Structure 1
Amino acid sequence: MSMAMKKLFLASILILFFSISANSKNFKRVENSEEGYLNWMKRMSSRNHSNFMEAKNKFRPCKIIKVDQNPKFGDFISVKKAINSIPLFNPCRVVISVGPGTYREKIEIPATMAYVTLEGAGAARTIIRWDDTADRVGLNKQPLEQKAPPPPAGATGKQAVALRISADMAAFINCKFVGAQDTLYDHKGRHYFKNCHIQGSVDFIFGNGLSLYEGCHLHAKTNTYGALTAQKRESMLEETGFSFVNCQVTGSGALYLGRAWGTFSRVVFAYTYMDKIITPRGWYDWGDKQRQMTVFYGQFKCSGPGADYGGRVSWARELTKQEAEPFISLSFIDGHQWLTSF
């Protein structure tokens, strides 16, 4: 046998060996697919919360501050001045009661100022409004983020955040957040949204919070395409994600339920009504096919013309009751430890 023939023969044996090895692995993978899937589900739906501090709260107020545009009826005429009157390291619950009217202010509550409640006269009566966008600059030459008129979908530099929440253990009840691109920056921490109205166009709920949205109205307002969520979980070790329970999704345009901003992006919709605006595919991988193997996108007993699971991407899941269980109660955010009964 010539040297060339020997090399060809050895190469054939190696190819055959690798083919058998690959087939053996594939056979093993098929045999254990159910067990592997269950293990994957367990890891992806984990809610260990080890990265968060022990949940605690102070429910009874020690002080009530009244804000009213008529100085005769309040302690302050602006929300900002009321917040500035609170100690920077606040030791007890302070309620700021804000009277009816439109307050043109950019509000910031410092991270050290815990146990603060803003209480309005109703979402339609007490309005805090601002109009900066990401491509505007302030006096310090730094970009600002806030609420502004709707730009074209996906326009660069036109993000206008109505609310950024970076605190741990924060609740929003009967609130209304109105914006367009990037309306609600659910940045980080455990959050609870109940009976809220959230309106936007592209990624209008985004960030890396561990958040439960219950009974909320999610309204898209765009003439082209849009996306409801952009969740930014970057690692399996991060116990973050968005869960929407008993919500409704309505509006205009063509809407993705979510885009994979993070490699391990995690979003679940349960018992939620979805209007026909939801695209059949439902989800977008942010242009990175590798994320299809790591994201966790699921539905459980959703209804409406946009909830049809038949056209969904193959890497999204219709969850079983057992798989959905970790996401659909207050325990998802340790809520029984830091929330009163709502």
Structure 2
Amino acid sequence: MMAQPSLLLLAAAVVLSLSLCDAHNKLAKKSDDVVNGPLLTSKLNAKRTLIVGPNDEFKTIQSAIDAVPEGNTEWVVVHLRAGVYAEKVVIPETKPFIFVRGNGKGRTSISYESASPHNTESATFAVHADNVVVFGISFRNAARAGLPNNPEIRTVATMVSGDKVAFYHCAFYSPHHTLFDSTGRHYYESCYIQGNIDFIFGGGQSIFPCAEIFVYLGRANEAYSRVVFADTYLSKTVNPAGWTNYNFSGSTEHVMLGEFNCTGPGADASQRVPWSRRLDQAEAAKFLTVDFINGKDWLPAFYY
């Protein structure tokens, strides 16, 4: 994972753990094999597949989501053909147990120009339901140039407020407030996340194994901000201070912005801000497995 200071990761109420993907990482696996293979199929036991494409029954993603019954209790696969879907998609709270499957983040994209003073209203793709799995899709807020320069405008690519939501091999793009990790336990494996300001933010409890992001590590935005970088390669472009409190003027006494077992020239902690932390093995352990999000109880691709 390469970190660059030109972009900023927001550390507000969000609790997240990031880790390097390598052969020794327990969270590292071939998600495409799992998602497309018999293991996930048997775990989800999906009995219905809705196919979205120009020559299929459903021409839009939202129409397929709308076809899932209210109060759904069985897994439904919504399969997206390759292509760019220019629409805004919402999975409402009343429609859990949906598996949205694309053909790969380089082949299936949901792109929509949406800007609003409110994060929820601006989101291109919003998940409010529990128990949702997403695989192989790029999400983009295509807001026109200049809008992100207005601090009152949000251009969210994806918002997640449901519990037990997992993304595999997805990408998220927006110039401003890219991924609104609002509330709930979430899992983003092998995902690419790009933005300019506050591009991962919210109050979710989430882990990002094998993620590729470009960050100025993060900032203290609230009194109990928590972010951990673990087993991560940090390039020389990381600001030596590592972290910033930006416009936050409150106490940093309870802020926990930490690093564990990071390598690379950007991991030099000699000039870090005094309220950041270097974690030992015992302190970092609780952030480094899917137990942090109770993943063994709900991650459908969990097999270790």
Question: Structures share a fold, TM > 0.5?
Answer: yes
Say which of 211, 228, 231 aligns to 1:271: 231
Q: Report the secondary structure of 2:251's partner residue.
A: helix
Q: Distance in 1 between matches of 2:145 and 2:211?
A: 21
Are residues 1:173 and 2:133 paired? no
- Other-structure match for 2:135: none
- Other-structure match for 1:251: none
Are residues 1:341 and 2:302 paired? yes
Q: Distance in 2 between matches of 1:280 and 1:196?
A: 26
Are residues 1:194 and 2:189 paired? yes
Distance 1:337 1:208, change over 3 A: same
Q: Distance in 2 between matches of 1:135 and 1:188?
A: 19
Structure 1 residue 135: deviation in Å? 4.8
Q: Contact conserved, 2:61 with 2:89, CA < 8 A, in 1? A: yes
Structure having the higher helix fraction is 1
- Other-structure match for 1:210: 205
Distance 1:154 1:315, change over 3 A: farther
Q: Report the secondary structure of 1:80's partner residue.
A: helix
Distance 1:205 1:286, change over 3 A: same
**Which amino acid letter does the alignment assign opposite residue 214 of structure 1?**
P
Q: Distance in 2 between matches of 1:288 and 1:123?
A: 35
Q: Report the secondary structure of 1:322's partner residue.
A: helix
Say which of 133, 158, 180 aligns to 1:185: 180
Distance 1:133 1:75, change over 3 A: same
Are residues 1:144 and 2:122 paired? yes
**Which amino acid letter does the alignment assign opposite residue 255 of structure 2?**
V
Distance 1:265 1:103, change over 3 A: same
**Which amino acid letter does the alignment assign opposite residue 308 of structure 1?**
D
- Other-structure match for 1:297: 257
> Structure with the greater relative contact order (CA < 8 A, sep ≥ 6): 1 or 2?
2
Deviations 1:114-142 (A, max 9, x none): 10011000001000001111259xxxxx9
**Which amino acid letter does the alignment assign opposite residue 152 of structure 2?**
G
Query: What pairs up with 1:113-262 in 2 under 5 angstroms?
Result: 113-135=95-117, 144-146=122-124, 147=141, 148-149=143-144, 151=146, 155-219=150-214, 228=215, 256-262=216-222
Query: What pairs up with 1:77-116 in 2 under 5 angstroms?
Result: 77-116=59-98
Q: Contact conserved, 1:88 with 1:110, CA < 8 A, in 2? A: no
Are residues 1:323 and 2:289 paired? no
Q: Report the secondary structure of 1:177's partner residue.
A: strand
Q: Contact conserved, 1:149 with 1:179, CA < 8 A, in 2? A: no
Q: Contact conserved, 2:88 with 2:123, CA < 8 A, in 1? A: no
RMSD: 2.1
Q: Report the secondary structure of 2:89's partner residue.
A: coil
**Alignment: residue pair count:** 243
Q: Which 4+ runs in 1 deviate beyond 6 A?
A: none
Deviations 1:23-66 (A, max 9, x none): xxxxxxxxxxxxxxxxxxxxxx9xxxxxxxxxxxx721121111
Q: Report the secondary structure of 2:47's partner residue.
A: strand
- Other-structure match for 2:274: 314
Q: Distance in 2 between matches of 1:217 and 1:197?
A: 5
Q: Distance in 1 between matches of 2:121 and 2:295?
A: 34
Deviations 1:85-138 (A, max 9, x none): 1112111000101000000010000012110011000001000001111259xx
Q: Contact conserved, 1:264 with 1:291, CA < 8 A, in 2? A: no
Q: Contact conserved, 2:236 with 2:266, CA < 8 A, in 1? A: yes
Q: Give 5+ residue unaligned stretches, structure 2.
A: 1-14, 16-42, 125-140
Q: Distance in 1 between matches of 2:149 and 2:239?
A: 17
- Other-structure match for 2:47: 62
Deviations 1:7-28 (A, max 9, x none): xxxxxxxxxxxxxxxxxxxxxx
Q: Contact conserved, 2:176 with 2:199, CA < 8 A, in 1? A: yes
Q: Contact conserved, 1:154 with 1:202, CA < 8 A, in 2? A: no
Q: Give 5+ residue unaligned stretches, structure 1.
A: 1-44, 46-57, 137-141, 220-227, 229-255
Bigger drift between 158-167 and 272-281 goes to 272-281
- TM-score (normalised: structure 1): 0.67
